[in-house]
């Protein structure tokens, strides 16, 4: 298993090219935190706060939102069609080249 | 004016445990929190979230941990100012502080301990133009006193536990309860959903899904809301009401604390971790998730440790001439301010060398 490359666009529009390990059971929210990007993740990754909301810019297939994620995004602000919760996206090899943008803080 | 020894800002686990540690030192505490009930994000965001790293608890739900902490601090009779956000702080000539809340409540304390977690939790407000004009005029984002709604027509919006629980509670208080949710499904405890269904059958709750509130109307206070049904026709409906309560959860904000002259780094308050978690302003401490220092770990159990050291330092600040000798609670017992006393049962010691007693 190897790292994948992904791009995170922060709230100032700055692009961060980062390496994300596929063998550490990490998710996109945790990768953002590991690189000190301003993701609060108040609930710790339980899809209960939407502070890790991001927009999927690349055309990767991330699968359907699960019920918890769907419900949380119904309550969150600044939600777009391509909104996802970073904590609900596990890092896997098929995410190579993923580009995300952090949603504005509420 | 409320007076106390230690004013704690934030009623999460760290703030609550600080009351206990202060109580052992016979220091009185008062707690301010922007939320309407103690517990911070544990209670408000994820009461059912299991926590596995609290010593002595192989597993404990966040809500149960808060309940236990409340029980643990009961003998020390802390005061609470809930539903109000700490807004300003003024240092007095004698080194004490006056903290004023968003509703103007003043607190005078010798020491201030900020245990604000990720900041004050502000309600998520629906995107309705001019919504702030109705705040406290029929519009509320949290319920402090349900009696306010007795015999009133109430519209609640939201799909989580808060919306469900308050709809159930107000069904017996208000004259009319309408629950509006943008989805058909609710994100709450199954028994709450079932209870709501039952009350809908009994005509005690009117359930409108999927739908959302688009606007509020009224002359200086809420008189009606404009609802849009999320069906194909996007049918609009005006619901006359006395109160509108959107319960869309909370979002954390550091808030006015950021303007108190404290040294801030990456949205957290810098402290001197080698000693006592004091900030750059003597007499103001920061404990728990709100602080930062080299090696900081944002864990509840680390907050407990920080609260303990903070209280020892606060004691020395309040009583500079007294020497405090730390005692184990097993030895010293616990003397509550309510007159209660807890102490270890004294064991019978057998007389050494007397075979008759063996």
Distance CA B264, CA B112 (A): 17
User: What number of other Cβ atoms are within 10 A of residue B41's Cβ?
Assistant: 24
What domains can you pick out in chain B, each with its CATH number?
2-119+254-342 (3.50.50.60), 124-249 (3.50.50.60)
Task: Return the number of CB contacts < 8 Å for A and B.
Answer: 48
- Please answer yes or no on whether B252 and A71 come within 8 Å at the CB atom: no
Binding-site residue positions of B: 14, 33, 41, 46, 86, 121, 289, 330
Of B73-82, B140-149, B197-206, the one with minimum mean pLDDT is B140-149
Secondary structure (3-state) at B109 = strand
The per-residue b/e assignment along A42-61, b for 16 or more CB within 10 angstroms, e otherwise, is: bbebbbbbbbbbbbbeeebe
Number of domains in chain A: 1
Q: Confidence band (pLDDT; 50, 70, 90) for B355?
A: low
B185 at A interface, C-beta within 8 A: yes
Residues on chain A touching B266 (C-beta within 8 angstroms): 36, 38
- Alpha carbons within 13 A on the beta-carbon side of B206: 12
Tokens of B278: 């004091």
Shortest alpha-carbon distance between residue A94 and chain B (Å): 31
User: What number of other Cβ atoms are within 10 A of residue B80's Cβ?
Assistant: 15
B251 at A interface, C-beta within 8 A: yes
- Please answer yes or no on whether A43 and B45 come within 8 Å at the CB atom: yes
Q: Confidence band (pLDDT; 50, 70, 90) for B47?
A: confident
Residues on chain B touching A75 (C-beta within 8 angstroms): 124, 158-160, 248-249
Binding-site residue positions of B for FAD: 14, 33, 41, 46, 86, 121, 289, 330
- Mean pLDDT computed over B31-58: 89
Distance CA B212, CA B128 (A): 11
- Please answer yes or no on whether B158 and A75 come within 8 Å at the CB atom: yes
CATH of the domain at A40: 3.10.20.30
Contact B6/B111 with Cβ under 8 angstroms? Answer: yes
Residue B228 has pLDDT above 80, yes or no: yes
Q: Which own/partner contact pairs does B68-71 have at CB distance under 8 Å and 24+ positions apart?
A: B69/B13, B69/B16, B69/B17, B69/B20, B70/B16, B70/B38
Tokens of B292: 């930062």
The pTM for the full model equals: 0.77
Query: Burial level of B148, CB count in 10 A (0-12/13-18/19+)?
Result: middle
Residue B358 has pLDDT above 60, yes or no: no
Residue B26 has pLDDT above 90, yes or no: yes
Host domain of residue A86: 3-102
DSSP strand E in B94-168: where?
Answer: 97-101, 106-114, 120-123, 153-157
Distance CA B239, CA B242 (A): 10
Ordered alpha helix ranges (H), B173-271: 190-201
Kind and range of the H or E element at B87? strand B86-91
- Please answer yes or no on whether A106 and B160 come within 8 Å at the CB atom: no
Give tens-digit pLDDT for B89-119.
Answer: 999 999 999 999 999 999 999 999 999 998 8
- Please answer yes or no on whether A40 and B118 come within 8 Å at the CB atom: yes
pLDDT at B267: 80
pLDDT at B182: 87
Residues on chain A touching B258 (C-beta within 8 angstroms): none
Tokens of A104: 């504005």
- Please answer yes or no on whether B41 and A74 come within 8 Å at the CB atom: no
The per-residue b/e assignment along B250-269, b for 16 or more CB within 10 angstroms, e otherwise, is: bbbbbbbbeebebebeeebb
- Top mean pLDDT of B17-21, B258-262, B318-322 is at B17-21
B183 at A interface, C-beta within 8 A: yes
């Amino acid at each position: 298993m190897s790292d994948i490359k992904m791009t995170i666009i922060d709230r100032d529009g700055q692009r961060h090219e980062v390496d994300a390990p596929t063998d550490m059971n990490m998710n996109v929210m945790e990768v953002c935190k590991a690189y000190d990007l301003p993701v609060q993740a108040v609930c710790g990754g339980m899809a209960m706060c939407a502070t890790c909301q991001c927009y999927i810019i690349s055309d990767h297939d991330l699968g359907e939102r699960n019920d918890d994620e769907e419900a949380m995004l119904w309550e969150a602000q600044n939600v777009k069609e391509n909104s996802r919760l970073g904590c609900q996206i596990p890092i896997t090899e098929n995410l190579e080249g993923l580009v995300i943008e952090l949603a504005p803080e509420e | 004016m409320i007076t106390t020894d230690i004013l704690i800002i934030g009623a999460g686990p760290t703030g609550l445990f600080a009351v206990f540690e202060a109580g052992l030192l016979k220091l009185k505490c008062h707690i301010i929190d922007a939320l309407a009930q103690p517990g911070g994000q544990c209670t408000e965001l994820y009461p059912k979230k299991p926590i596995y790293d609290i010593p002595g608890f192989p597993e404990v739900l966040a809500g149960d941990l808060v309940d236990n902490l409340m029980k643990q601090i009961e003998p020390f009779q802390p005061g609470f100012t809930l539903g109000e956000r700490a807004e300003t702080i003024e240092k007095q000539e004698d080194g004490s502080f006056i903290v004023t809340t968003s509703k103007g409540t003043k607190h005078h304390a010798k020491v201030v301990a900020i245990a604000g977690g990720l900041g004050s939790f502000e309600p998520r407000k629906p995107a309705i133009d001019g919504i702030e004009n109705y705040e406290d005029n029929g519009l509320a984002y949290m319920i402090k006193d349900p009696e306010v709604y007795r015999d009133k027509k109430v519209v609640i919006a939201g799909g989580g536990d808060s919306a469900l629980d308050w709809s159930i509670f107000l069904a017996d208080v208000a004259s009319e309860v309408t629950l509006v949710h943008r989805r058909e499904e609710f994100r709450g405890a199954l028994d709450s959903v079932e209870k709501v269904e039952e009350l809908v059958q009994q005509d005690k709750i009117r359930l409108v899904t999927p739908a959302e509130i688009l606007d509020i109307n009224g002359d200086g206070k809420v008189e009606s809301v404009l609802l849009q049904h999320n069906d194909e026709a996007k049918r609009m409906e005006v619901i006359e009401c006395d109160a509108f309560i959107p319960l869309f959860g909370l979002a954390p904000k550091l808030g006015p604390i950021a303007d108190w002259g404290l040294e801030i780094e990456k949205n957290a308050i810098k402290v001197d971790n080698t000693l006592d978690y004091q900030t750059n302003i003597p007499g103001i401490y920061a404990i728990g998730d709100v602080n930062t220092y080299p090696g900081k770990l944002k864990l509840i159990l680390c907050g407990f440790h920080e609260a303990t050291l903070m209280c020892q330092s606060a004691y020395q600040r309040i009583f500079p001439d007294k020497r405090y000798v730390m005692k184990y609670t097993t030895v010293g017992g616990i003397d509550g301010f309510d007159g209660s006393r807890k102490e270890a049962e004294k064991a019978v010691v057998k007389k050494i060398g007397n075979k008759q007693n063996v």
